C-alpha cells in the first residue's frame, strides 16, 4: 500500500510521523512511566511499540477516511494499565488521541499548525521535561489530597466535638467480677 492510497504524500507522511512522535514525547504520563521504569526494564521498548502501533493504525486509514480520537483511547488505557501499571485519569489519553487525529487531519491538507506547536514544545528539551514532571507530580499530590478530602465526612468542629463526647460516654465499663456494662447509644441528631 502506498502513502498516496491514504491520501497523504510521502513528504506529508514523514511530517505526520515526526509530529506524532513529538506528541508522544510531550506526553507527561508516558514519560514518567518510562523514566520511572513502571514497565520494567523494557519500559522504553513498550513506549516505542505503542508509537509504532498507532502509526500503523494511521497508515492503514484510506483516503478520505476520518480518524476519531475514541478509536485510540481504549488502546491507550489498556496499554498504560497493562504495560506500565498506570491508571491514567488526568485526561491526557483523550488529549493525546484528539491531538493525533487533529494532526493527521491538518497534515492531510498541508496545515502544520499542530505540528509546529508540538515540535516547538519538544525542542525545549530536558528543562521542559523536568517542568512537566514537576507539574505532574504536583498535580498527583493535589489529586491525592483532594481524594482524601472528598472521602472524609463533611463535618464542622462542633460535630466533631459532639462525636468525641458520645464516644467517651459509650466506652464500656468493667466491674470487679469482669462483667462489662454497655451504655445505650444516643440517637443521632
Q: What is the mean pLDDT of the chain?
A: 78
pLDDT band at 81 (very low <50, low <70, confident <90, very high): very high
Position with higher pLDDT, 183 vs 60: 60
- pLDDT number for residue 158: 52
* 135-128-47 Cα angle (round to 5): 85
- pLDDT number for residue 136: 47
Position with higher pLDDT, 176 vs 21: 21
- pLDDT number for residue 42: 94
Position with higher pLDDT, 24 vs 143: 24
- Determine the average pLDDT of the residues in 24-36: 95
Q: How many whole angstroms separate alpha carbon 96 and alpha carbon 26?
A: 9
Q: How many whole angstroms separate alpha carbon 54 and alpha carbon 76?
A: 10
Q: How many whole angstroms separate alpha carbon 25 and alpha carbon 129?
A: 9
Q: Output phi, psi for 136, to 5 deg.
A: -65, -40
Position with higher pLDDT, 101 vs 140: 101
Amino acid at each position: 500500500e502506498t502513502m498516496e492510497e491514504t491520501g497523504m504524500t510521502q513528504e506529508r507522511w514523514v511530517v505526520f510521523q515526526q509530529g506524532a512522535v513529538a506528541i508522544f514525547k510531550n506526553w507527561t504520563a508516558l514519560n514518567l512511566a518510562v523514566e520511572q521504569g513502571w514497565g520494567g526494564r523494557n519500559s522504553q521498548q513498550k513506549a516505542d511499540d505503542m508509537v509504532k502501533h498507532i502509526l500503523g493504525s494511521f497508515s492503514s486509514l484510506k483516503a478520505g477516511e476520518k480518524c476519531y480520537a475514541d478509536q485510540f483511547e481504549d488502546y491507550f488505557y489498556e496499554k498504560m494499565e497493562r504495560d506500565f501499571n498506570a491508571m491514567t485519569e488526568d485526561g491526557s489519553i483523550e488529549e493525546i488521541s484528539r491531538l493525533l487525529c487533529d494532526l493527521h487531519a491538518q497534515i492531510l491538507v498541508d496545515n502544520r499548525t499542530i505540528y509546529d506547536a508540538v515540535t516547538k514544545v519538544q525542542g525545549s528539551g530536558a528543562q521542559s521535561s523536568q517542568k512537566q514532571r514537576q507539574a505532574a507530580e504536583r498535580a498527583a499530590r493535589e489529586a491525592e489530597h483532594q481524594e482524601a478530602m472528598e472521602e472524609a465526612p463533611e463535618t464542622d468542629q462542633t460535630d466533631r466535638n459532639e462525636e468525641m463526647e458520645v464516644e467517651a460516654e459509650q466506652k464500656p465499663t468493667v466491674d470487679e467480677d469482669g462483667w462489662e456494662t454497655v451504655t445505650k447509644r444516643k440517637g443521632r441528631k
